[in-house]
Amino acid sequence: MSHVQKGDKVNVHYHGRLTDGTTFDSSEGREPLSFIAGQGQVIKGFDDAVLTMIPGDKKTVSIPVAEAYGHRNDDMVMEYPASDFPEDMNPEVGMELQMGDDQGNVFPVVIVEINGDMVTLDANHPLAGQDLIFDLELVSIG
């Protein structure tokens, strides 16, 4: 049986959790995750972990922050006046929004604080700054 090599399409079942055991994502009850190995379509630690696996292999991997979603970046936390939001919107902490930049890129942000007439938005990935643990099962190659 052949093992996963860069450029192979792989199908992987996974269970992702934080170091405290909290599950943040799982393919349980869904189709396995499909991606091209070694192409950067998933976080580096996940990508690296599937290389050399053969169908049916199972493993648990610890992925450090640098090979996951990176460290939190304080420059990605911004304050905006509540008056900049649409009149029909009632901003609330935890609300997820889409924001655009001058180059036309759109990215997700979360309202993390409302202080008077100022709203604080965080554009960091929700898992930034976290070490991650994945239970992986290689379902198939191709």
Q: Percentage of the chain surpassing pLDDT 70?
A: 99
pLDDT digits (tens, 9 = 90+) for 9-49: 999 999 999 999 999 999 999 999 999 999 999 999 999 99
In our burial notation (b when 16+ CB lie closer than 10 A, e otherwise), range 83-114 reads: eeeeeeeeeeeeeeeeeeeeeeeeeebebeee
The answer to whether the CB of 93 falls within 8 A of the CB of 113 is: yes
- Into how many domains does the chain fold? 2
Report the candidate in 83, 86, 70, 74 with the shortest Cα–Cα distance to residue 121: 74
Tell me the sheet residues that pair with 9.
36
Which pair of tokens denotes residue 130?
Answer: 């976290």
Same domain, 63 and 95: no
pLDDT single digits (tens) 82-111: 999 888 998 999 999 998 888 988 889 999
Asked if residue 33 lies in contact with residue 12, where contact means CB atoms within 8 angstroms, the answer is: yes
CB 27 within 8 A of CB 13: yes
Q: What is the mean pLDDT of residues 68-78?
A: 95
Residues 31 and 63 in one domain: yes
Model pLDDT, residue 1: 67
- Residue 87's domain comprises 74-122
CATH number at residue 65: 3.10.50.40
Average pLDDT rounded to a whole number, residues 110-139: 96
Asked if residue 53 and residue 16 are part of one domain, the reply reads: yes
